[in-house]
Structure 1
Amino acid sequence: MSDTTWSFSQTFSAEFQASRTDLESRVQEAKSTTITADDLQILAVDLAKLNKTLADATGSLPGYDQRQFELQVKAIEKSLQELRPKSKFAFKRKPPGPTTTTTTPTPAATSNIAPPPSTTTPSTNLTLSSHSSQYLTKTALPPASQSSDLSISDLSNCIVNLLDSKFSALHIRNLTDTVLLLPVIQGSILLHDLRRCTVVAGCHQFRMHTSTNVDVYLAIQSAPIIEHCSHIRFSTYPSSLSKEITAHEFSVQDFSHIKSTPSPNWAFIPGLGGGDGKDWPVGGVEDISASLSKLLPDDSRR
């Protein structure tokens, strides 16, 4: 084996095992929780990326290592398959054709096959959408259960304070010049198309797409993921907003920069304290513009 091949193999093995271990632990954790379709999709996408990374390295790895990595991927694939809901089938008796008799069937002659259970469940999705220059709290939402998903979309120049709310998952899209103060949830947070925003959140899985100039104050024990993003900064969840949270260090995975060099698309916010020096508007604001100017990222990072 040449020195170049050996060096690549060592680097690849370390990166692959780190990604594989993280994904494997997330799949195992999902077995003990109620997993949503979005959570399954995230795991499936991450598994596909891991598989592609291994396929791209074919020929540059020792044969034994290649086989072991393939077996590890197959094991995760099997575990993920076990998480998918099993399909339920029910057979319906074919309706009888028209007859010329008018005899009413007796109870003994009726079918004893129960109708298939309804697959329709009451919607638990909540929506907060289409607001500008407002301070928004949970009063803008209908009453929710703790199993509700919340979609936040199409906001500009807003401050959203949902710290005293509970949700199972959050889906966030198309926000501009907006501050989100979100609770720590057990599920996932998916974000798309944020421009110059500040996000305070805690979750089991965090994934951000196609966003730029965003500061994220996060409570998480896994690795947050970004893709097609730029000028993203991370720090820990402010202890001033929740005394029950213990800050954990975390690393960030940038799926747009699968290289051994540091990603140019994100960085940690300098200093310690996770934003505890900021004046978070938990009790409302008199001047939204003035508050936003203190909390939003600097325009020069665009």
Structure 2
Amino acid sequence: MDTIGERKTEITEKLQRREEERLAGLQRKKEERGNDWGNDLTTLEGAKYFIENFNKEKSDILGTLEKIDTLCKSETIIELDRATERLLSLQKFHADSTMFLPSYDVRQSQEVLSNLQSRIQEKREKLYPKKKFAFSSKKKSTKQEENKKESNKMMPIAHEYGVQLSDCTIQKKCHECIEMTDTALIKKDVGLFDSSFCTFRLFGAPSTVHIKNLTDCVIISGPVSSSIFISDCKNCTFVIACQQLRTHSTTKSKFYLHVTSRAIIEDCSQLEFAPYTLSYMKLEEHFVAAGLDKLKNHWNDVDDFNWLASDVHSPNWSIISEEEREKFCY
């Protein structure tokens, strides 16, 4: 009887423990559901806060862009700069909020940011219209040809390119440091020619940059909205950002590069590449003005037109080691 009683007691205790474990498990699940619901509430509140503030800021920026057409040029410049600064802040707010936003809201807000950037870009292009190239005519009288030759003495390299670079040309400098900013550069075509032992600092957002016949020079440029063309340079350092880079007949030079397409080199040798390391006060604003994607950089994707082997790296260019890379801060 004692044995039966002991077994009965043992079974009762087991059943009781199981019931306690079952109840404890239910309590844990309840608590977990409660925590998830709390997280859901936090997420919903965060998304609501983002949408309300994002839409308000978007409306304010659009309102600024609408009234710009009624202002004088000096006021327009100020308002455009303010709109650009607000867009940069809105982009940062968006980036900080993506962790709790639904994917649909992320996509929608990204489209809004892209549209705002395009609208600001259009206003800047209207304010700073891009000047057209003036192509020379092949059929000219002897008198016209003589006048053309005289005028080309002022800009010999532009003549070689077949275009007249009328915006901003710097040439025949030696042992000089030349710095240009903002209004002198935004949406302008820039030419740097026939110089040696110089430093050129272009702190703005040019449209296009042509560089030819530079020796022992340092070229530092903010974001260029279209292309940079380089030829016949030696022992130079280029700190540049652009959509397209084409380099011809250039040797022993370093590139600190941000480029949104594949860089192209031809008839070049001993070129070295590293990521863009420039920083200055208005760099972020100029990236927006130029319309360049900061997250898209093909600095190490170089297409050598003189090297056809796809399975062997071109001997004409290499990558600068991290230990040897310089930073350019102003």
TM range (shorter): 0.3 to 0.5
**Between Structure 1 and Structure 2, which shows a larger proportion of helix residues?**
2
Task: Provide the TM-score with structure 1 as the length reference.
Answer: 0.47
- Larger of the two Rg values belongs to structure: 2
Task: Provide the TM-score with structure 2 as the length reference.
Answer: 0.44
